[in-house]
Amino acid sequence: MALSIDEARAQVLAAVRPLPSEDVAVQDALGRVLAEDIVAQRDVPSFANSAMDGFAVRSGPAGRALRVVGESRAGAPSAVPVGDGEAVRISTGAALPEGADAVLQVECVTVDGDRVTLGDDVDPGRNVRPAGDDVRAGATVLPRGARMGAAEIGIAVVAGRGTVACAHTPRVVVLATGDELVAPGEPLGPGQLHNSNAATLAALATQSGARVLRTGVVADTEHATRAAIAAALDEADVLVLSGGVSVGPHDHVKPALEALGVREVFWRVALRPGRPTWFGTREDTLVFGLPGNPVSAMVTFMLFARPALGAMQGAPHAPEWVVARLAEAIPRHPDRDECVRVSLSDGLATPTGPQGSHQLSSMLGADGFAIVTAGTGSAQPGDQVVVELV
Ligand code: AMP
Ligand code: MG
């Protein structure tokens, strides 16, 4: 009995050893996963400042004519405080001078030499951004395990950090097996096809926060397969293979892995597409032997290799899914759960097109995999399905 998707994924995650951490310059941390909580070292903003260009004043009624005694500019706070009957010219973001509790914007005043007449009542706090109204000193602004995007980088900077501790980037080698493979852009001979898997799997690995050391193509011989895998095992934290993992006379991956001391954790998952998926480990190195069909390769990478890469970086495994209604009838496979590529709209899951494991176009526009569970008959239009978002 082949494993279910969830069982297989659990076995993969159980085999993951998290990578150590290193300090990374915050501006270089895009896509990295934090190995520490980031705590604000001070209030942000660190001083009360003006939300407008205008005049810092003491709150009070309209009509007052005040003497302008100084200026507060960005990076150059006023040297003088604001007393009764006084105002300080102030720029957006500049520090609120001592003595002032509000700012009246320039549009609401009349300036005449060093006199400014207020055209509006000024409540306390008007146009003032208090210290700490974005982030409080001591607050945890980012948890360990968060992946650094542009906003996370910005928050780490304002929290006071120049470097952040991040998990090491997993090193990935992608090897595509097959005598039929031709490099992108090259002409095809009889029976040949373009090696799309090396490109899609490398792209998925990169999107998962990995560094793809290289991709390679491996001929369908025992010797070439073993040599290529041996070299890759010495470089990579994760080796991703495509093709050659079935039991035909030209499938050399499984015996090569066994000969090289990679321990099989599982082979075959009750999954369509992607049944012949193989997974194993050698010490801390993970090896995924993914099926060669282009959709199977992508689907199984997304289901199994992507969470492993996340877990190696310390990112919590949290598959996102929604419940939707099927737009079309889908015949159930007798003993495999099917990942139907669907687009989602208004709670409706619509298959992206013909769903063959070779039909890569079915991956275009896919928001997720609708899991049509094994059984008899068909899932019907309107039936509820779980959709794992991709
Ligand atoms: P295999 O798992 O080696 O039997 O491969 C199954 C099928 O997947 C092959 O017959 C090819 O049509 C296709 N295939 C294998 N490798 C690739 C690849 N790298 N890129 C695109 N298609 C592939
Ligand atoms: Mg093959």
Q: Is the CB of 175 under 6 A from ligand 1?
A: no
Q: Is the CB of 196 under 6 A from ligand 1?
A: yes
User: How many CB atoms are closer than 10 A to CB 196?
Assistant: 16
Percent over 70 (pLDDT), the chain: 100
Which residues lie closer than 8 Å to 92 by C-beta, 6 or more apart? 50, 51, 52, 53, 74
Cα–ligand 1 centroid distance for 169 (angstroms): 28
Q: Whose CA is nearest to atom 17 of ligand 1?
A: 292
Written as six digits, the tokens of 311 are 């877990």
Over 80: is that where the pLDDT of 1 sits? no
pLDDT digit string, tens, across residues 271-330: 999 999 999 999 999 999 999 999 999 999 999 999 999 999 999 888 899 999 999 999
Over 90: is that where the pLDDT of 127 sits? yes
Cα–ligand 1 centroid distance for 224 (angstroms): 17
Cα–ligand 1 centroid distance for 375 (angstroms): 28
Cα–ligand 2 centroid distance for 272 (angstroms): 18
Q: How confident is the model at residue 116 (pLDDT cuts 50, 70, 90)?
A: very high
Cα–ligand 2 centroid distance for 254 (angstroms): 12
The mean per-residue pLDDT over the stretch 96-122 comes to: 98
Lowest mean pLDDT among 48-52, 96-100, 188-192, 316-320: 316-320
Written as six digits, the tokens of 75 are 């990076």
pLDDT digit string, tens, across residues 12-44: 999 999 999 999 999 999 999 999 999 999 999
Q: Is the CB of 242 under 6 A from ligand 1?
A: yes
The reported pLDDT for the residue numbered 317 is 84
* Nearest ligand to the C-alpha atom of residue 178: 2
Taking alpha carbons only, the member of 30, 369, 371 closest to residue 207 is 30
How many Cα atoms occupy the beta-carbon half-sphere of 175 within 13 Å? Answer: 28
Q: Is the CB of 314 under 6 A from ligand 1?
A: no
Secondary element (H or E) of residue 144: none
CA end-to-end span of the chain, whole Å?
Answer: 27
Distance from C-alpha of 272 to C-alpha of 333, rounded to nearest angstrom: 8
Distance from C-alpha of 219 to C-alpha of 302, rounded to nearest angstrom: 25
> Alpha carbon of 171 to those of 34, 119, 202, 311, 312: distances in Å?
17, 64, 11, 14, 11
The reported pLDDT for the residue numbered 318 is 85
The reported pLDDT for the residue numbered 286 is 98
Number of H helices, E strands in the chain: 7, 28
Q: Is the CB of 273 under 6 A from ligand 1?
A: no
CA geometry: angle at 355 spanning 11 and 276, to 5°? 35
The reported pLDDT for the residue numbered 182 is 98
113-119 long-range Cβ contacts below 8 angstroms, 24+ apart: 114/67, 114/68, 115/65, 115/66, 115/67, 115/68, 116/55, 116/65, 116/66, 116/68, 116/87, 117/63, 117/64, 117/65, 117/66, 118/55, 118/57, 118/62, 118/63, 118/64, 118/65, 118/66, 119/62
